[in-house]
């Protein structure tokens, strides 16, 4: 059974003072080494849209999917130059009504207000050949939404991002990894090609494209799982 790693990043850089979730950060130098290792071993980092034929089993190759949640400014400031240096692409999942703001959904909880990409930064990311996916309008816990709110958060975020980028947005990511059957069906009905979760594991080729698992960004461990013998 073939499988493909989908890496899940949040912040690139060092944690802000007082941030109670430092594990969401990967230092810029470590990220650079991870991307260099992929390149050295002949892997190509790709966006979710580029990954679709591989996930469907139509293509085979040494690929690793790279994703970033929430649309933080450090994704474009620190991750983008490294991605371009090593010839990789990636998808960033964006909270459409929080562009240019901060992480309003958990700032008080984690003790840190982390800046999100501005419209200009998001357009720059897209123009650089990177993918953009939807991460809802406001980052709610989707199973708690009523039907109208669920439709707005899922389909509305798609429409808002497409209006801004002037390109189709066909990828989705569930905030907090929270989903149930109703939420997944809403994502399918909105026309997304695929959706990622926070569940751990490699994505099985030919599996359900709307409940894709991802891996924490520990590249050497993931390559070990793929049988390359790296610990």
Whichever domain contains 159, its CATH number is 3.20.20.370
What span, in angstroms and rounded, lies between the C-alpha atoms of 101 and 95?
10
Locate 173 and state its tokens.
């990511």
Cross-strand bridge partners of residue 215: 7
Range of the domain at 138: 3-225
> What's the confidence (pLDDT) of residue 211?
98
Contact status, residue 76 vs residue 124, Cβ threshold 8 Å: yes
What span, in angstroms and rounded, lies between the C-alpha atoms of 99 and 122?
8
> What's the confidence (pLDDT) of residue 228?
62
Structural domains of the chain, count: 1
> What's the confidence (pLDDT) of residue 227?
61
Strands 6-9 and 3-4: unpaired
CA distances from 16 to 20, 167, 179 (A): 9, 33, 29
Residue 230 lies in a domain: no
What phi and psi values does residue 60 have, to the nearest 5 degrees? -130, 150
> What's the confidence (pLDDT) of residue 225?
65
Contact status, residue 31 vs residue 8, Cβ threshold 8 Å: no
Locate 221 and state its tokens.
């461990």
Residue 139 lies in a domain: yes
Closest to 8 (Cα-Cα) out of 226, 203, 153, 169: 203
pTM value? 0.95
> What's the confidence (pLDDT) of residue 216?
87
Phi-psi region of 156 (alpha: psi -120 to 50; beta: other; left: phi over 0): alpha
Residue 208 lies in a domain: yes
Give the up-direction half-sphere exposure of residue 86: CA atoms within 13 A in the CB hemisphere: 24
Tokens 């899922």, located at residue: 154
Buried-state track 103-139, b at ≥16 Cβ within 10 A, e below 16: bebbeeebebebbbbeeebbeebbeeebbbbbbbbbb
pLDDT in tens, the chain (231 residues): 799 999 999 999 999 999 999 999 999 999 999 999 999 999 999 999 999 999 999 999 999 999 999 999 999 999 999 999 999 999 999 999 999 999 999 999 999 999 999 999 999 999 999 999 999 999 999 999 999 999 999 999 999 999 999 999 999 999 999 999 999 999 999 999 999 999 999 999 999 999 999 998 876 667 666 666 544
> What's the confidence (pLDDT) of residue 231?
43
What span, in angstroms and rounded, lies between the C-alpha atoms of 138 and 178?
14
What span, in angstroms and rounded, lies between the C-alpha atoms of 94 and 2?
29
> What's the confidence (pLDDT) of residue 220?
65
Helical (H) or strand (E) element with 165 = helix 157-165
Residue 231 lies in a domain: no
């Amino acid at each position: 059974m073939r499988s493909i790693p989908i890496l899940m990043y949040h912040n690139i850089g060092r944690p802000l003072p007082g941030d109670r979730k430092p594990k969401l950060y990967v230092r810029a130098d470590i990220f650079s080494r991870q991307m260099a290792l992929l390149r050295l071993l002949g892997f190509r980092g790709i966006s979710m849209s580029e990954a679709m034929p591989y996930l469907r089993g139509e293509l085979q190759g040494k690929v690793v999917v790279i994703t970033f949640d929430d649309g933080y400014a450090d994704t474009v400031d620190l991750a983008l130059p490294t991605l371009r240096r090593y010839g990789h692409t990636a998808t960033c999942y964006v909270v459409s009504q929080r562009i240019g703001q901060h992480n309003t959904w958990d700032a008080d909880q984690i003790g840190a207000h982390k800046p999100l990409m501005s419209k200009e930064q998001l357009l720059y990311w897209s123009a650089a050949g990177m993918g953009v996916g939807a991460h809802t309008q406001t980052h709610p816990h989707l199973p708690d939404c009523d039907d109208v709110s669920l439709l707005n958060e899922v389909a509305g975020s798609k429409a808002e991002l497409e209006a801004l980028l002037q390109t189709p947005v066909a990828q989705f990511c569930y905030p907090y990894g929270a989903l149930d059957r109703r939420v997944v069906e809403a994502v399918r009905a909105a026309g997304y090609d695929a959706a990622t979760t926070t569940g751990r594991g490699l994505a099985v080729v030919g599996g359900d494209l709307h409940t894709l698992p991802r891996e924490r960004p520990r590249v050497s461990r993931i390559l070990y799982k793929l049988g390359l013998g790296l610990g």
